[in-house]
Amino acid sequence: MEDPLELAICVDGVDHQVALTMRTPGDDEALLAGFLFSEGVIEQGQLHGFRHTPQRCTALIKEGTPVDLSALQRNVTTNSSCGICGRPDASSLRPAKPVTADWGVPPEILMRTAESLDQAQAGFKVTGGLHAAALWDVSGQLLMLREDVGRHNAVDKLLGHLILNHALPISQAWLMVSARASYELVQKAVLAGIPVMAAFGAPSSLAIETAEHGRLTLVGFLSPRSFNVYTHPKRLHVDGFK
């Protein structure tokens, strides 16, 4: 299911619409919190509530919080397939500090959890059309899973849940996405302090570059039988594994 949702913020009593996004209904407040964090509008702890209708979700910013509304400048509707569409230029993208966690995930855990994700995706079983974003611990235990028709929305819902529970950075878990490894998904993982990200599909060249600079271990083409690793392979206890 895909429906439009207006995303807005209330700053010192004044509402500002920030985007119109297409998403799978559910977890709208987490979606908005994750979106605002990824865009550099808020930091953890700066929200004090929401106003929510089926068509609009408004985040209430704590009074006196400085908000850079220019960080939200977009020229088109944000659709379900693109997390950066409508930005005026690449310089408006949020910079991220490099990940510092030094623990790793054994290759057999990566491949085993790839098979487990299929079983955990309740929405995908019904629709066949939802992306998933999942957090796992180093032993392969599923910590959290969110689904959405948009791959970036699924990650925003997951990160938003962590923000609302004051759980960022989350350096003791790793991220799996059921889509390709696009730039915006890698950027969100680095912003959250996640050290390892694995994708079922291919990474883009900009995703690889961002992962390298962000010290994120990036895995692509993950399956129950194999995977490719593109950056910082030592976290997987391998050296140049392909």
Q: What is the pLDDT of residue 125?
A: 47
How many angstroms separate the CA atoms of 216 and 10, rounded? 34
Does one domain contain both 31 and 81? yes
Does one domain contain both 85 and 120? no
Does one domain contain both 67 and 113? no
Does one domain contain both 130 and 224? yes
Last residue of a domain, one of 92, 124, 153: 92
The reply to whether 242 falls in a domain is no
Which of 177, 148, 172, 150 shows the shortest CA–CA distance to 162?
172
How many angstroms separate the CA atoms of 199 and 176, rounded? 6
Does one domain contain both 124 and 39? no
Does one domain contain both 114 and 232? yes
Q: Is 113 helix (H, G, I), strand (E, B) or coil?
A: helix
Active site residues: 82
Q: What is the pLDDT of residues 162-180, one digit of tens each?
A: 999 999 999 889 999 998 9
The reply to whether 100 falls in a domain is no
Angle between helices 183-191 and 205-213 (to 10 degrees): 20
Give the neighbor-by-neighbor strand order of the sheet with 56-61.
Answer: 14-23, 3-11, 56-61, 47-52
Q: Looking at the predicted structure, is the pLDDT value of residue 79 above 80?
A: no
The reply to whether 241 falls in a domain is no
| CATH code, 48 | 3.10.20.10
Enclosing domain of residue 157: 107-236
What is the total count of domains within the chain? 2
| CATH code, 142 | 3.40.140.10
Question: Higher confidence at residue 138 or residue 74?
Answer: 138
Residue with tokens 């987490």: 30
Q: What is the pLDDT of residues 15-31, one digit of tens each?
A: 999 999 999 999 999 99
Q: What is the pLDDT of residues 26-59, one digit of tens each?
A: 999 999 999 999 988 999 999 999 999 989 999 9
